[in-house]
Amino acid sequence: MTPLAATEPDWDRIPLQRAPRQQRSREKVARALAAASGLVAREGVAALTLPRVAEAAGVSVGALYQYLPDRDAIVRALVAEYHARLEALLENAVALTRASTPPSDPVGHVIDAVAEIYRDRDAVRILGTASAGGLIDADRAAHKQRMAEAAARLLHASGLSHDETDATARARVAFLAADAVLHDAFAVPPAAQEQTLQELRLLLRRYLQP
């Protein structure tokens, strides 16, 4: 799977020690994030040392240090990149749902749309193994709030709520439950994955449907 960071980062969403202003500097940081994502996919978060990332990206340690000085900074930047990717995927699911005929199984539709996001094992690995800390915890809390708000729009678009505002609290609970289950669901064999998704559908169908 192509690492998510291989695409041009959303610079407004990536926390860096110093913002790269010139295109050449941005290209270096983008290569570093792509290299870091590849290292995570192959070797895990422990491989994210500044020298390893710099070597894999083809940039000098000194050039990278001013933007991503250590492992914590690299992990936080990757987490922000993955958060932005997951949020974009969920917003895309909302847009597609709004443009389509209302689904015959709205709960199944919502769960399948969210589950598809978590099939990216690279994203799940970095999000699941990122060390807890003040900044990452705050980033994660803000991300979950944005995901819950998008989930509320998805519920509304799927016909499970008549008001997006009223749906936010239910959507947050539903998203947090799905998030906890789905982070583990795709780490097991395919047969067990489907069984887990079926149980999640049953759980949320009882919670979300009137």
Number of domains observed in the structure of the chain: 2
Same domain, 147 and 113: yes
Asked whether residue 156 is domain-assigned, the answer is yes
Nearest to residue 158, comparing CAs of 144, 146, 170? 170
Q: Which helix (H) or strand (E) holds 127?
A: helix 121-129
Share of residues in the chain with pLDDT > 90 (%): 26
Asked whether residue 103 is domain-assigned, the answer is yes
pLDDT in tens, 13-52: 889 999 898 999 999 999 999 999 889 878 888 888 999 9
Domain ranges, residue 57:
4-65
More confident residue, 31 or 7: 31
Asked whether residue 72 is domain-assigned, the answer is no
pLDDT band at 120 (very low <50, low <70, confident <90, very high): low
Same domain, 53 and 127: no
Residues recorded for the chain: 210
Question: Among the three residues 17, 42, 65, which one is the final residue of a domain in this structure?
Answer: 65
Asked whether residue 93 is domain-assigned, the answer is yes
Same domain, 32 and 105: no
Q: How many CA atoms lie within 13 A of 80 on its CB side?
A: 19
Asked whether residue 70 is domain-assigned, the answer is no
Tokens at residue 130, please? 């990122």
Same domain, 50 and 105: no
Backbone torsions φ then ψ of 117, nearest 5 degrees? -65, -35
pLDDT in tens, 153-196: 988 888 887 776 667 888 889 888 988 888 777 777 878 888 88
pLDDT exceeds cutoff 90 at 57: yes
